[in-house]
Amino acid sequence: MAQSVEIVEVGPRDGFQSVKPFIPTATKISILEKLFAAGLRRVEATSFVSPQALPQLADAAEILAAALGLPALDAQVLVPTARHAARAINARAQHIAFVVSVSDSHNRSNVRRTPAESVAEYATIVAALPVGTKLRLNLATAFDCPFEGKIDEAATLALLDQLVAIAPQAEIALCDTTGRVTPDHVTSLFAKSFARFPQVPGWAFHAHDTYGLGTANTLAAWHAGVRVFDAAIAGLGGCPFAPGATGNVATEDLVWMFNGMNVETGIDIDALVDVAQQVATLPGGQIGGRVRDALAAKSRREKALA
């Protein structure tokens, strides 16, 4: 395969945070290890947030410790504020992902701050990062907001003007928080972002599958030149602050698509589907995706004919 992409598995963070019944820490670690065994080499392992706000992620330090024990695994952790970033750094996090929303209403719902206040938090975090710490910026509601609707591209680019100036070395992920974006909007915003910020070393796309366009939008981002994509095993997820938003695009769906395009992912689709089947049974999980069920049906038929 002449081309390759990097898939960032966000199920252990974005997926698990939407599940209300507490998933035992040992179960989370077992799933993380199985994802690693299937070939995932970059995972958003957890998030350092208020345990009162998201009790599902109260075991962040334990999960990060387990992730750091897996050789060559790039374990990024999401943080919403400087205080929680300090907690993550104290837990030996080596890859920090910060999140800020373009829309004022979503940012206030998510982190109880205006976007301007989050920009100031970001500057504080960047200034305090230990040397060698990797940095990712997740720009939520980059395309659409659950409260304000479609986001003007000029608003997204204007916020990026401030954020890129603070940390031009950061990878930037444009996030379709609601899953309502269409491929033409994905292509347009990435093209404008590439042209405006040539100094940014890497771009990523975070897709939700609310309207069944997760893979189509991912493909649009790929054609635009993006090579890093977020996805969640079994399509697990759903933003707690974005009413009606379903899960992330399923990891197995993206791997299947890219395999068919002869684009290397480094991931074993059969091993991945096995993990997806387990994740799909988690109590309280909101799942999605198509490849998992299709391959399971194919396997059952082959066994019946054997």
Q: In this predicted model, what pLDDT tens digit does every residue of 179-233 receive, in sequence order? A: 999 999 999 999 999 999 999 999 999 999 999 999 999 999 999 999 999 999 9
Residue 175 annotated to the active site: no
Q: Residue 242: its pLDDT value, please?
A: 54
| DSSP E strands, the chain | 3-4, 6-9, 42-47, 74-79, 95-101, 134-140, 144-145, 149-150, 171-175, 203-206, 228-231, 263-264
Pick from 300, 289, 264, 267: nearest CA to 38: 267
Locate 16 and state its tokens.
């698990």
Mean pLDDT to the nearest integer, 29-57: 97
What is the pTM for the complete model shown? 0.95
167 close to 137: Cβ distance less than 8 angstroms = yes
The pLDDT score that the predictor gives to residue 237 is: 87
What string of DSSP letters covers 169-183? Answer: TSEEEEE-SSS---H
Query: Using CA atoms, how far apart are residues 11 and 162, in angstroms rounded to an integer?
Result: 29
The yes-or-no verdict on residue 243 having pLDDT over 70 is: no
- Report which of 58, 54, 48 is spatially closest to residue 18, judged by C-alpha positions: 54
Span 146-192, pLDDT tens digits = 999 999 999 999 999 999 999 999 999 999 999 999 999 999 999 99
Domain 3-305 falls in which CATH fold?
TIM Barrel (3.20.20)
* Residue 240 near residue 17 (C-beta atoms within 8 A): yes
- Rounded to 10°, the helix 291-305/269-279 angle is 110
CB 105 within 8 A of CB 148: yes
Contact, 92 vs 64, CB < 8 A?
A: yes
Annotated catalytic residue, options 111, 239, 242, 267: 239
> Which residues have CB under 8 Å from 174's CB, separation 6+?
139, 142, 143, 156, 189, 190, 193, 203, 204, 205, 206
The pLDDT value given to residue 286: 86
Nearest CA-CA partner of 268 in 34, 66, 88, 47? 34
How confident is residue 303, by pLDDT bands cut at 50, 70 and 90?
Answer: confident
The token pair at 58 is 């109260």
- Say if residues 110 and 101 touch (Cβ distance below 8 Å): yes
135 pairs with which residues across the strands?
96
- Confidence (pLDDT) at 1: 45
By three-state DSSP, how is residue 228 classified? strand
For the segment 246-301, what is each residue's pLDDT rounded down to a tens digit?
A: 689 999 999 999 999 999 999 999 999 999 999 999 999 889 999 999 998 877 77
Of 304, 275, 276, 306, whose CA–CA distance to 290 is shortest?
276
pLDDT attached to residue 300 = 76
Residue 112 has pLDDT above 80, yes or no: yes
| Contact assessment for residue 292 and residue 251, using Cβ atoms and an 8 Å cutoff | no
Question: Which run of H or of E encompasses 52?
Answer: none
